[in-house]
Structure 1
Amino acid sequence: MSAYSSPVILVKKKDNSWRMCVDYRALNKATIPDKYPIPIVDELLDELHGATIFSKIDLKSGYHQIRVHEDDIHKTAFRTHNGHYEYLVMPFGLMNAPATFQSTMNDILVFFDDILVYSKSLLEHQHHLKLVLTVLVNNCFVANQSKCKFGCSAVDYLGHIISGQGVAVDPGKIQCILDWPEPKNVKGVRGFLGLTGYYRKFVKDYGKIAKPLTELTKQDNFTWGPQAIEAFHKLKQIMTSPPVLVLPNFTLPFEIECDAAGRGIGAVLMQKKQPIAFFSKALSDGNLAKSVYEKELMALVLCIQHWRHYLLGKPFTVFTDHKSLRHFLQQRITSPDQQCWLAKLLGYQFEVRYKPGLENKAADALSRCHEVVEFKHLLSYPTWESGKALLEEVSQDPYIQKLMAAVLQSPKNGFEVKQGTLFYNGRLVISPNSPSIPMLLEEFHSTPMGGHSGFLRTYRRVADNIYWVGMQKSVRDFVRACDICQRQKYAATTPGGLLQPLPIPNQVWEDLSLDFITGLPKSKGYDAILVVVDRLSKYSHFILLKHPYNAKSIAELFVKEIVRLHGIPQSLISDRDPIFISHFWKELFKHQGTKLKMSSAYHPETDGQTEVINRCLESYLRCFASEQPKSWSLWVPWAEYWYNTTYHTSIGRTPFEVVYGRQAPQLLRFLSNETKVPAVALELNERDEALIQLKTHLLRAQQQMKKYADVHRRDVNFSVGEWVFLKLRPHRQQSV
């Protein structure tokens, strides 16, 4: 197995497929850079003199078409959950991959994976294309047909537009300057002057040219007039032509200044502080919600990608006004977005440096040019399209016509006829059988205007405009039946179904309930508690647990701590913890004759006994271990003693008395032998009588509890197979 190992990064594509990249940052640090010379763009462009027809060929996965030397294959190893793998072909992301690829292609006019074929005539071009394609076939190189261009009179190549007329600057380099909108306020003027002023030393008489704009930045003096317009357009022209904008010199290092601010990102590509190209991009609504760090990182990645043909294969420096980005290449990748951005930077050799915002004026101005927004105020008045149809329906409805005739003949309280239409207290009257009623209820309840209000608010909204006989019942039935309200709103009605207490056991330790308390801090290695409660006596055991535990280990503990002391129970009540519903747990107790009773989903009240004891135990531990949380395990034995010797109102005595027939030894016991229950003094001889009293106390407590609970519940009968909504509790619900 290879001694090398690099991590894998999976990046999701737009089509939801995945692109696999390998993070070779550690390997690149130990790699000696290849000094193979990258072609000088000026020399490549000089060879194009006289050419009139062009073709551009883009190689498909060019790096993967070059085999890795056998002695170096093991260095490309990457790790996955299925083991180690090694690349047999050159992967993307290696420091020397660009130089290796360029040296392989040096016999063709090529800059990395962009092959340019140029000729003086069509016949000559056909011959040249045949030669180039033959070389590619013989060397097993594959082209990407969708990105190839053949027989063009002009092509974009290495940031230039090449045609029979010569070489011109790519308009994309200066488009963001040409598209700069005219400022609408002082802030917009200051942004534009921030960019142009950054390069004022390259502009003769900059102060005179920009004076009309500078005057606009003074307080209460913004008037966009002819002089300001002339200065604005003149500065844009100067910024996009020599001597301000210069051609790149590939013998000098490149520098990038980038920034993200407001609603956009911006960057400048420079050499010796002179601009070579500008880049600006507005942020989408989704990207606007990202953090400042993410937007600054996005600006860095996008500008490097945009100027790939200048930067790939050469070391360069990126300046940013966000300090934390300095360490991006050394940071641990923790989010999918960071994985995506890092994958796009693999293979580039660059250093990130911090530059304060006040010194990063050009990129800052480019990032803020998208903030200039012109607001237009529009006034409109809504109209109800269904209103005319409703009036027409009312005018033709026999029920309304009959009622209106009766009102005209013998006026009734509240009813009146206006312009041939019947109203009741100023509201339009419609038939109770009108086919428009469902539409009206939908409009006044389910639309954004209705807001899915409750019965009263919906009724008042409808009753302000319309009236029909039985309207209250119609609105109440509609709101009750609203599917969205039942799914999304808080339950305002009392719970359905009356309280159904569990049957009282006949003997102690024949019917038990179990539950876990988890999420505790480590204490002596323990981080969980198994709570076991006898439902008749309320006697409890608190068993300490260590993660990880499974059904087998819990079963062994149960036998050791419970069965050993109290025998095999007849039934166990628990929630639906994965351990309690496991096949092992079910089969084990099935063969022991123990019946498993589990609470229904999202209804912990079924196992209310252990839920109550859990709260008591947690409260006890907080009281004694709050100052030293990791000491809680030392207090669990005392908590068990405290709980089992505490008086319970439901059973009328302590759990210890019920199980052992006597009081637990205490200091006060030796001062007085009195007892409130004479039968207990006979101890085991009168044990049956004590159990009868115990059941009486439990039955009385259950009846009292049911009486109080049913006050806040309603009796509802459901049929088997009937669909109902299950209300999830917020603290248990994991999703919307």
Structure 2
Amino acid sequence: MLPINCATWLFCACASTTMNMRRAHPSICATIILADAMDKRWDELFDLLSHGTFPAGYDKSQKLNLRRYASKFTLKEGELYVRGRRAIKSKEDARKLFTEFHSSPIGGHTGILKTRTAMSSRFYWLGMSVDINNWVLECDKCQKVGKPSTAAQPLQCIQVSAVWDLVGIDLIGPLPKTVDGFQYILTATDYFSKWVEAFPLKTKTAAEVGRHICSIIYRHGCPKRILSDQGKEFVNELNTSLCNMLAIERSVTAAYHPQTNGLDVKTSHNIKQALIKLVNDKQNNWDVFLEATLFSLRSKVQTTTKHSPFLMMYGREAVFPSEVPVDMPLSTISLPEERTFHSFLDEKIKSMECVKKRTAENISKSQDKQKQAYAKRVQKKNQNTLSYIGEEVLWFKVKRERKERKIEPGMHGCM
């Protein structure tokens, strides 16, 4: 067994002994039986098509079934073919073909789908899809170079209960430089209301990021916590001092795990998708449409909360330009009288409390649905990544330990 330390990620590669493999994967026994049956069936088909003879001891029903099955095959130059694909006699021959189509230099260690497509268009054998899947997953080189096949953990949703409890920040770019020299977009998303702030940046220095964080604070007040990745534009002495001075808790995502800040990643995606549809052919005027894009994101009902971020922040829905009368004189605007402000404020507070309560309930329901959907997706994966005592494992060597060896496999260990 290889040593385990805090810098290693472990995942099951394959069982160290045949006994372990059979205990971990009961289908191994069935595979061995299937291989024997495969050789036998090929011989039966060959004898029937070449000589018209049946295996000794076959009754009338067995002969009929074999003849029906043989109708799919043709005999050509001593080889069996089914719909133009050569039928492979034994698992040993099939494994040799797999080595050529996957493990050799011309195979290129392609994934399951590409390897299976290339082979199934040329060859046929009983259970070939299952075999190819297993052989690719068992490939030593692919395991060391590919993404670690770790068992997925239950989905952990971030819990928030009020506006500005948690704000996630992220950076988009570099983008095509605009006329004014902007190349980046700093985004900030409130995890409760889903309100989005975004600023065009010329550089992504700590000073410029810190200046725009201050702009957010001036408009909305201090958030309780700020979440970001480990980029040096976010994690630095300047911004750390700013947060400490304002009693703002700082959280950062784990390395190689940006999913923690998934809401801001989604925000960045939404902004980019909107800008792509608005910019000119040179893509150098995206900054002109950034504010309008933010208005769209803020004023539309959010699928998780079932309310618009605008309502959550202002206690009313946004008024679109088309809703405003063109020639409305100022004298027609109705303003509350001074004596009604207290009642107006009481009603607004009660209304916002109801909205806040419904939003919290909607977020909770949405997170429950996400957990259930996620659990279904990973259930099958987890069944295939269970490890057992005595199994060999690979360990992941982090980039800082690999230095400049960029084509070195990420996973290490002997198989």
Q: Shorter-chain TM-score: what band? A: 0.5 to 0.7
8 Å Cα contact 2:166/2:190 also seen in 1: yes
Which structure has the higher relative contact order (CA within 8 Å, separation 6+)?
Answer: 2
Cα shift at 1:449 = 9.0
Residues 1:669 and 1:696: Cα distance change in structure 2 (over 3 Å):
farther
Q: Distance in 1 between matches of 2:386 and 2:179?
A: 48
Are the equivalent residues in 2 in contact too, given 1:495–1:712 (CA < 8 A)? no
Corresponding position of 1:482: 139
State the alpha-carbon separation in 2 of the partners of residues 663 and 473 from structure 1: 55
What displacement does 1:456 show? Answer: 7.8
**Aligned residues of 1:486 and 1:725 also touching (Cα < 8 A):** no
The one-letter code matched in structure 2 to 1:581 is V
Q: TM-score, normalised by structure 2?
A: 0.54
Q: How far 1:446 sits from its partner (Å)?
A: 5.0
| Counterpart residue number, 2:212 | 557
Of residues 502, 511, 514 in structure 1, which corresponds to 2:169? 514
Map of 2:292 onto structure 1: 638
CA RMSD of aligned residues (A): 4.9
Measured in 1, the distance between the counterparts of 2:89 and 2:193 equals: 67
Match of 2:248 among 576, 582, 594: 594
Superposed CA offset, 1:217-268 (max 9, x none): xxxxxxxxxxxxxxxxxxxxxxxxxxxxxxxxxxxxxxxxxxxxxxxxxxxx
Q: Give the 3 Å change call, closer, same or farther, for CA 641–443 of structure 1 in structure 2.
A: closer
Q: Distance in 2 between matches of 1:629 and 1:444?
A: 43
Structure 2 CA distance for aligned equivalents of residues 623 and 478 of structure 1: 44
CA shift at 1:501, angstroms? 4.1
Deviation at 1:667, TM superposition (A): 5.3
Question: Closer, same or farther in 2 for the Cα pair 1:694/1:485, shift >3 Å?
Answer: same
Does the Cα contact within 8 Å between 2:226 and 2:248 map onto a contact in 1? yes
- Once residues 617 and 450 of structure 1 are traced to their aligned partners in structure 2, the CA distance between those partners, rounded to angstroms, is 40
Distance 1:626 1:478, change over 3 A: closer
Deviations 1:543-576 (A, max 9, x none): 12222x42133213211x1111222222222223
Q: Which 5+ residue runs of structure 1 have no aligned equivalent?
A: 1-411, 416-425, 431-438, 465-471, 672-679, 729-733
Q: Is the contact between residue 534 and residue 540 of structure 1 (CA under 8 Å) also seen in structure 2?
A: yes
Task: Map 1:603-642 onto structure 2 (within 5 A).
Answer: 603-626=257-280, 629-642=283-296
User: Counterpart of 2:236?
Assistant: 582
Which residue matches 1:435?
Answer: none
User: C-alpha displacement at 1:495, in angstroms?
Assistant: 7.8
Residues 529, 544 of structure 1: 8 Å contact kept: yes
Deviation at 1:478, TM superposition (A): 6.8
State the Cα deviation string for residues 399-424 of structure 1 (Å, max 9, x = none).
Answer: xxxxxxxxxxxxx9999xxxxxxxxx
Counterpart in the other structure of 1:531: 187
Distance 2:187 2:260 in 1: 16
Deviation at 1:516, TM superposition (A): 1.4
Q: How does 1:258-269 map to 2 (within 5 A)?
A: none
Question: Deviation at 1:703?
Answer: 2.6
Deviations 1:291-349 (A, max 9, x none): xxxxxxxxxxxxxxxxxxxxxxxxxxxxxxxxxxxxxxxxxxxxxxxxxxxxxxxxxxx
Secondary structure in structure 2 of the residue aligned to 1:690: helix
Q: How does 1:318-717 map to 2 (within 5 A)?
A: 480-488=137-145, 496-498=151-153, 500-518=155-173, 519-547=175-203, 549-559=204-214, 561-626=215-280, 629-666=283-320, 682-714=347-379, 716=382
Q: 1:414 to 1:562 in 2, by over 3 A?
A: closer
Distance 1:625 1:442 in 2: 49
Residue 335 of structure 2 is matched in structure 1 by none
Find the aligned partners of 1:543 and 1:479 in 2 and give their Cα distance: 46
Instruction: Work out the percentage of aligned pairs sharing the same amino acid.
Output: 20
* Distance (whole Å) between structure 1 residues aligned to residue 89 and residue 303 of structure 2: 61
Q: Is the 8 A contact 2:155 2:375 kept in 1?
A: no
- Structure 1 CA distance for aligned equivalents of residues 355 and 281 of structure 2: 42
Amino acid at match of 1:516: L
The CA distance in 2 between the partners of 1:443 and 1:545, in whole Å, is 51
Secondary structure (helix, strand or coil) at the match of 1:514 reads: strand
Assess if the C-alpha contact under 8 Å between 2:210 and 2:238 holds in 1: no
Q: What letter corresponds to residue 683 of structure 1 in structure 2? A: K
1:511: Cα distance to partner?
Answer: 0.2
Question: Are the structure 2 counterparts of residues 516 and 621 from structure 1 closer, same or farther at C-alpha, using a change threshold of 3 Å?
Answer: same
- Which of 1 and 2 has greater Rg? 1
Task: Specify the code of the residue in structure 1 equivalent to 2:213.
Answer: F
Contact 1:662 1:681 in 2 (8 A): no
Task: Give the corresponding residue for 1:328.
Answer: none
User: Cα gap change, 1:414/1:516 in structure 2, threshold over 3 Å: closer, same or farther?
Assistant: closer
Contact 1:494–1:713 at 8 Å: present in 2 too? no
Q: Which has the larger share of helix?
A: 2
| Partner in structure 1 of residue 71 of structure 2 | none
Correspondence for 1:211: none
In 2, the alpha carbon distance for the partners of 1:481 and 1:649 equals 41
SS in structure 1 at match of 2:199? strand
CA contact (8 A) 1:514 1:532 kept: yes
Q: 1:592 to 1:655 in 2, by over 3 A?
A: same
Q: Distance in 2 between matches of 1:624 and 1:450?
A: 43
Please tell me whether the aligned partners of residues 523 and 633 of structure 1 are also in contact (alpha carbons under 8 angstroms).
no
Name the structure 2 match of 1:141.
none
What's the CA shift string for 1:440-469, capped at 9, x where partnerless?
x99998566987586989x99xxx9xxxxx
Q: Tell me, what secondary structure is at the counterpart of 2:278?
A: helix
Q: Residue 186 of structure 1 aligns with which residue?
A: none
Q: Which letter does structure 1 place at the counterpart of 2:367?
A: Q
How does 1:290-301 map onto structure 2 within 5 Å? none
- Output one character per residue of 1:77-128: Cα deviation in whole Å (capped at 9) or x when no partner: xxxxxxxxxxxxxxxxxxxxxxxxxxxxxxxxxxxxxxxxxxxxxxxxxxxx
CA distance in 2, matches of 1:635, 1:541: 14
What's the CA shift for 1:617?
A: 1.8
Determine if contact 1:537/1:658 at 8 Å carries over to the other structure: yes
1:90-489 → structure 2 map (5 Å cutoff): 480-488=137-145
> Could you tell me how far apart the structure 2 residues matched to 1:534 and 1:586 are?
20
2 CA distance for matches of 1:643 and 1:634? 16
CA contact (8 A) 2:201 2:208 kept: no
Equivalent position amino acid for 1:535 in 2: Y
| SS of match in other structure, 1:606 | helix
Counterpart contact for 1:599–1:607, Cα < 8 Å: yes
Specify the code of the residue in structure 1 equivalent to 2:181. G
Aligned partner letter, 2:221: G
How many residue pairs end up in the alignment? 285
TM-score in terms of structure 1 length: 0.32
Hey, what's the Cα distance between the residues in 2 that align with 1:475 and 1:664?
56
Shift of 1:669: 5.9
